[in-house]
């Protein structure tokens, strides 16, 4: 959520600049007042629109900041036929998970469903290759189940618990 205040400060600075240009322009007082009022009304509207967007999943086609991501972990998903594939993704080097929506595609939906089934059987998670790149290559699956987690080495396993035996008693 750190981006909202930064984006709002940028929008407010631009609105203030436009308001100042309107005030200093050689126009009638009514036009200057309208320019100032428009700049003042723009600020709460800009903030409200940024906050409203926080709860909506972003279309993957609009992700330009992280579009070079190689992989993402699929934390949750919901498929709505003929509408979209909604994903909750954890990206590498990004602290918080993010919500995205893919355009509806039956093949991708079936691939995701299959990866979810495999991950459940293996007790692992689901990964997504190139989450923001529209791929025409159908040879490599976009969604896949991670391999089953390896057991820790025997030397790192905890020793079995030792029970207290009072002296003189046999187990």
Identify the pLDDT of residue 35.
82
Domain spans of the chain, in order of start:
3-53, 58-149
What mean pLDDT comes out for the span 81-103? 91
Distance CA 151, CA 169 (A): 37
Asked whether residue 139 carries a pLDDT value surpassing 80, the answer given is: no
Average pLDDT of the residues in 74-96: 92
Nearest alpha carbon to residue 8 among 64, 37, 46: 46
**pTM listed for this prediction:** 0.66
pLDDT > 90? residue 88 = yes
How many whole angstroms separate alpha carbon 128 and alpha carbon 126? Answer: 7
Q: What confidence score (pLDDT) does residue 4 get?
A: 67
Q: Which CATH class is domain 58-149?
A: mainly beta
């Amino acid at each position: 959520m750190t981006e909202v205040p930064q984006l709002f400060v940028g929008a407010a600075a631009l609105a203030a600049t436009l308001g100042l240009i309107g005030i200093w322009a050689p126009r009638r007082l009514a036009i200057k007042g309208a320019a100032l009022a428009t700049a003042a009304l723009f600020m709460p509207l800009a903030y409200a629109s940024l906050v409203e967007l926080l709860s909506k999943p972003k279309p993957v086609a609009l992700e330009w900041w992280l579009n070079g991501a190689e992989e993402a972990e699929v934390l949750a998903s919901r498929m709505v036929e003929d509408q979209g594939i909604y994903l909750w993704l954890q990206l590498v080097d990004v602290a918080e998970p993010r919500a995205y929506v893919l355009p509806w595609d039956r093949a991708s939906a079936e691939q995701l469903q299959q990866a979810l089934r495999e991950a459940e059987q293996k007790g692992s998670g689901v990964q997504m290759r190139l989450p923001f790149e529209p791929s025409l290559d159908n040879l490599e699956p976009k969604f896949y189940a991670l391999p089953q987690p390896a057991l820790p080495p025997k030397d790192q396993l905890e020793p079995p618990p030792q029970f207290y035996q009072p002296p003189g008693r046999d187990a």
